[in-house]
Structure 1
Amino acid sequence: MSHTSEPTVHPAALLSLPKAELHLHIEGTLEPELILELAARNGITLPHPTLEVLREQYEFSDLQSFLDLYYANMAVLITEADFADMTRAYLARARDSGVRHAEIMFDPQAHAARGIELSTAVNGIAAALASSEAEFGISTVLIAAFLRDETEESALEVLEALLAMRAPITGIGLDSAEVGHPPSKFIRLYKRAAEAGLRLTAHAGEEGPPSYVEDALNLLGVERIDHGIRAVEDRILVKRLVREQVPLTVCPLSNVRLRAVDTLAAHPLPQMISAGLNVCINSDDPAYFGGYVGANFDAMAAEFAWDAATAELLAGNSIRSSFAPDARKDALLAELAEWSTAHGTDLDPGQGAARES
């Protein structure tokens, strides 16, 4: 994969590429325009009262500087309608990026801490997701992500409340400030979620060390790692991830904006693909990081001169690594096969296999 400004796969082809998005925080899709609209609707005075001033805040020095703005902007989410509008706005943009299946994380603790009833957030998001396939052509899964800088007791309390209300969640995740909050802090939470039949994923190896990836697998029993880019620093861990084909949901533009990676050119994703890791591309918090999943594909394709087969490999990984029912995966892989035929790749979309690049 050489560096060039000209991808060998056309941007329009990347947008039509059927793909799943597995690492997406719905609160991170709040665009500045919608933030101001919801603030006006709910009579909320923001510290950044104009679009221009608000946009100026979107330069981050690290993960924490982003989180400070991310949580502050959540103040505009008050009613079920607010959560539904936010979710539909994401689905419309995801459709334009070729997303056919989306696994959407939300932060229940962050809303509970603001005095918002869990049912308000859950019902609002779920209302939009209930019609997502009919309205946008996107099947969806909802994941409750817990804040690692809060206590495990708080997480357990919220999980029990979600289970009691029969919230339509498929799995749990772990997000927010990573360093200093290792996976070992949440063993009971993940044990309880597993007992409840929920799927398990966790952020690890973004700012935290490779050992966090290993601990998420060994101690929490996760099926999927969100980010995982620092795993490349541990050759033994890489061999395990390749052997077990553990999905890694990589977010290139996010990594650069949060300074986890200095530049796009320095991003380890090409190295991860060549090593045989099961990686896919996602947008994380696209309103804050410069683009939805289509923009992430565009940027990486331009930087590393990707051909159609590389794009197809990543899309296939995303579909196979999803928590979608097998029938939905099969349907999406069939769509991907049609895309493959149209774009002349020689990769079998039904097989998850990395190739040397």
Structure 2
Amino acid sequence: MTSTEREFITGLPKAELHLHIEGTLEPELKLRLAQRNGVDIGQTTVEQVQASYEFHDLTSFLAVYYPAMNVLVTEDDFYDLAMDYLRRAAADGVVHAEIFFDPQAHTSRGVSFKTVIDGLWRAVQDAPSLGVDAALIMCFLRDMSAESAMETLTASAPYRDRIVGVGLDSDERDNPPEKFAEVFARARELGYRLTMHCDIDQVGSIDHIRTVLHTIGVERIDHGTNIVEDPALVAEARERGIGFTCCPVSNSFVTADMKGDEIVQLLHDGVKVSIASDDPAYFGGYVVDNMLALAEKKQLTRDDLALLARNSLEISWVDDGKREVLLARLDAYLSEQ
């Protein structure tokens, strides 16, 4: 696509709803935080850190991803991490960001829940100065126990006003959604919004999607494009207005086609599909890069791209008044094109 098309995509007012803040740890920041905190990461140059961001599947990715978090120690570290992302999001035309964070990945190595949430919350409060509205979604690590997840949910109670919802991420193998059914039921009682990862092409993907829709009762599904295997589930998702947060660039590390056909099929079938960047420091693309990659691969029209942006705003967890304001901004932008 031309630079004009990139400019069009960038200008679209959009929400990013599938973004792991730990996955925005760019090599430059990782090295700076390591030096600031006296953490030996085994690398001394940005180029060496970049070379360490190598993986070929989910397991090898996680083996790089979690150790990198050792440089995140203080409240200021989490603030700097989030602000670096928010500046990039603002440059990409993101007007609302719902940011995943993984408290267990930090509390398990001795960093307090308070340190994590205080740093991220400061960034959320400062986000409007960049033109972005932000919110936090607390994710549970599915390869840890349900008991650990429940403990984390309990620990979040004093900070309930800072967290809009809960999610579920990390390694899906042998960790089906029903493992966390009680945790999510309790989260619903506490007033949290619910989403869950249903990663692409996992063993039992379609069964996991069925579970999160029928048993867990989520409002959104992260990834989830395997739903096309069951047309009845697609119809149900459309009728219920279930949102899907899809990440083409990270998908391309798992499948050669980035699940492009499935994303476009769902989009044209009226399912509320949106595009996001997942772990952009590792996969090499923020939200505009993801939309552009999908557009180029699948010859999307401007109407398709506008619909992706509209979906992202419609399935976001802002209040209705804010949503109408954001949708009006999108309409105004499109009327000028």
TM-score normalised by length of structure 1? 0.90
From 207, 210, 217, the equivalent of 1:214 is 210
Moved more, 119-128 or 8-17: 8-17
CA 1:267–1:65 in structure 2 vs 1: closer, same or farther (change >3 Å)? farther
% identical aligned pairs: 44
Partner of 1:93: 88
- CA deviation digits over 1:36-84, x for unaligned, max 9? 0000000111033332222123232111111111101100000000000
CA 1:175–1:117 in structure 2 vs 1: closer, same or farther (change >3 Å)? same
Partner of 2:78: 83
- CA deviation digits over 1:16-43, x for unaligned, max 9? 1000000011000000000000000001
Partner of 1:294: 288
Indicate whether 1:198 and 2:192 are aligned: yes
Partner of 1:247: 243
How many Å separate the matches in 2 of 1:67 and 1:272? 28
How many Å separate the matches in 1 of 2:260 and 2:301? 19
Partner of 1:347: none
From 337, 341, 347, the equivalent of 2:335 is 341
Partner of 2:326: 332
Please tell me whether the aligned partners of residues 201 and 226 of structure 1 are also in contact (alpha carbons under 8 angstroms).
Answer: yes
For 1:178-189, list aligned pairs within 5 A: 178-189=172-183
CA 1:20–1:118 in structure 2 vs 1: closer, same or farther (change >3 Å)? same
> Which protein has the bigger helix share?
2
How many Å separate the matches in 2 of 1:276 and 1:166? 33
Moved more, 232-241 or 209-218: 232-241
From 61, 69, 76, the equivalent of 2:64 is 69
How many Å separate the matches in 1 of 2:171 and 2:189? 26
For 1:123-272, list aligned pairs within 5 A: 123-133=118-128, 135-166=129-160, 168-208=162-202, 209-257=205-253, 259=254, 261-264=255-258, 267-272=261-266
Structure 1 position 126, deviation (Å): 0.3
Unaligned segments of structure 1, at least 5 residues: 1-5, 344-357
The amino acid of 1:333's aligned partner reads L
Unaligned segments of structure 2, at least 5 residues: none
The amino acid of 1:67's aligned partner reads L
| Higher normalized contact order (CA 8 Å, seq sep 6+, divided by chain length) | 1
The amino acid of 1:229's aligned partner reads T
Structure 1 position 164, deviation (Å): 3.4
Backbone CA RMSD of aligned residues: 1.6
How many Å separate the matches in 2 of 1:57 and 1:207? 26
How many Å separate the matches in 2 of 1:307 and 1:165? 42
